[in-house]
Amino acid sequence: MNAVLFIVVPYVALILAILGGLYRYYTNRFTYSSLSSQLLENRRLFWGSVPWHYGIILILLAHLFAGLFPTAARYVLRDPPRLLALELAGMSLGLFTLFGIAVLIFRRLPANSMARTVTSVMDWILLALLAAQVAAGVGIAIFARWGSLWYLDTAAPWFWSILSLQPDAGTVAVLPAFVQFHMVNGFVIILLFPFTRLVHIFTVPVSYLWRPYQVVIWNRRPHGRANHSETA
């Protein structure tokens, strides 16, 4: 079972994400973005989208840094006060992100919600998996403390073994079940990448940095002028 969860699932997820993402990009590029609902419910979207995006980006960068530079991460974490501060910061970011995904879900629940009309079945599945992933991460921060430290000796070697095509699940097979769920569920989310709006993470408008300036002119009359013309 460990071989299926920690070797087969990661490879299937990565292959489908890469090939499926490329196929969708070249065959149906118009859908290669997130269908924004900002015009439908702007205020509630703000309170969900901002905490979610800022929180999850920082959390992913922290995971990525520890995975790519374990020696540097170990140097930073070897000091107990720094370890405690980073653990508290990670837990706070997790709760911040969990609040954001909760708002994004609950704004879609009312039957009269305009955002619900543009939410597909795959969107619901993705939202549920993302919420479970963040909740599991917060649970790890609370009940399996010092995760940022033991992560370097468990998950990081497992990730590298997969990328080097020498899979070894030995370091993660002994972890608690909810920690294993967090790891496997992450690859399930990657597997769903080409079938959901997750593809929009690759549509960051980087070209905006060098495109020519655009002049935007509001096509409306000032309020006072409009009243004056109506009175006249």
What does each C-alpha distance from 45 to 24, 40, 50, 108 come to in angstroms?
A: 27, 9, 8, 10
Q: What average pLDDT does the chain have?
A: 84
> Which of 15-29, 122-136, 143-157 is least confident?
15-29
Residue 203 pLDDT greater than 70, yes or no: no
Specify the CATH number for 2-202; select among 4.10.640.10, 1.20.950.20, 2.60.120.1440, 3.30.420.480. Answer: 1.20.950.20
Summarised one tens digit per residue, pLDDT across range 94-118 is 999 999 999 989 888 888 777 787 7
Nearest to 141 by CA among 198, 189, 96, 79: 96
* Span 31-45, average pLDDT: 59
What does the pLDDT average to over 198-223? Answer: 67
pLDDT, position 229: 47
Please enumerate in sequence order all residues whose Cβ is within 8 A of that of 181, keeping only pairs 6 or more positions apart, or say none: 132, 136
SS3 state at 82: helix
- The tokens 């590298």 sit on which residue? 160
pLDDT at 158: 95
In 3D space, the residue among 38, 44, 193, 37 whose CA is nearest the CA of residue 116 turns out to be 37
